[in-house]
Amino acid sequence: WWASFSIVLILGFLLGGAVVAKNSDIPFFKALTGDSKIQSVEASQSKDSSAATASYQPMNVADMVEKAGPAVVNVESQIKVSSGVDPYMNDPFFRDFFGNNFSQPQSRYETGIGTGFLISSDGYIITNQHVIDGADKITVQVPNKKSKLTAKVIGQDSELDLAVLKIDGSGYPTLSLGNSDKMRVGDGVVAIGEPYGLDHTVTTGVVSAKGRPVTIENRNYKNLIQTDAAINPGNSGGPLLNMSGQVIGINTAVNAQAQGIGFAIPINTVNDVLSQLMSGSKIVRPYMGVQMTDINQDVISQLNLAADTTGVLVVKVLPGTPAAKAGLTEGDIIKKIDDKTMTESTEVQNYIESKKVGQRISLQVQRNGNQAGLLLTLA
């Protein structure tokens, strides 16, 4: 946790050749320390987040912050750690002299800070999973509340780096969820968070790019929004707002080696799994059940393929999986999925993960020099 990263999390998909079944330690910046459940995403948006479907109406930044700020909360996580026993206490002489109590390991709490935001008036909060990962105690400071409130984790997913917390009470201010797909490069954005523990810090910028893949330790983000709005440790889990005050991203990471480069998880990614997180369910992800590899010159030589062969080579088909049931076999070369050309295994994986369990896809494969078409139902 104390190492320097080329990309520092304010804060996983493990990219590889396999697309297999996957149903899905205090915060990275611990050194900087300082019931009604909503049954569906649609319900949450129609009630407390009703503005999600409202027309896009740009606001003055100061007015926006005044309106949105009360729904942005500080998230503090604590993890209990034990200090080791001094090696001298292994010596009977020292134990006799100082007594056994002196040798007992001491416990202490390490604290990490982050940000979150309220999405329902009865206390549901979205933040990053790494903000609360491994925490023994989580407290939330709501603006205009004198004391901190204890929060419990309702749902979390480490691969998406998302978590939903719940605090007791009602009548909380909320933020509405926008549509990150409608954001264009160059659109203005506003970040609100708790960088370095500084309460409700506001920064502005634009959407610099979309769909950025970023790898941070064991987390592989595939579709982040890049922004030049200043994001610093402690901002993690806070909202990235459009100029209408709607959440279009969750601030997640910064580039430690360059100024003006921050990243946020698109809010549409959150919308896809929010109902599952709020119900405490594991995120169910579609899969094919194959191991794959890219076709390069080594593969072409080993398999004696034509020099211009492209596609993704199926190395192994796991028994009983959708791929096996569809008739995919080892040695097949995936050329297209739903008429989309595939040249890398990551393209196949990303495409499958964009689908839902139960959806049917069509595969065009090359088998022993011939073309074949298969239908596969994702599970």
Catalytically active residues are: 130, 161, 236
The continuous run of DSSP H or E covering 44 comes out as: helix 41-46
Integer Cα distance of 269 and 123 in angstroms: 21
Q: What length is written for the chain?
A: 379
Bridge partner list, 166: 124, 152
Angle at 121 between CA 285 and CA 242, to 5 degrees: 65
CB 234 within 8 A of CB 10: yes
Bridge partner list, 77: 112, 138
Integer Cα distance of 249 and 240 in angstroms: 5
Question: Alpha helix (H) ranges present in 187-235?
Answer: none
CB 103 within 8 A of CB 270: no
Bridge partner list, 220: 215
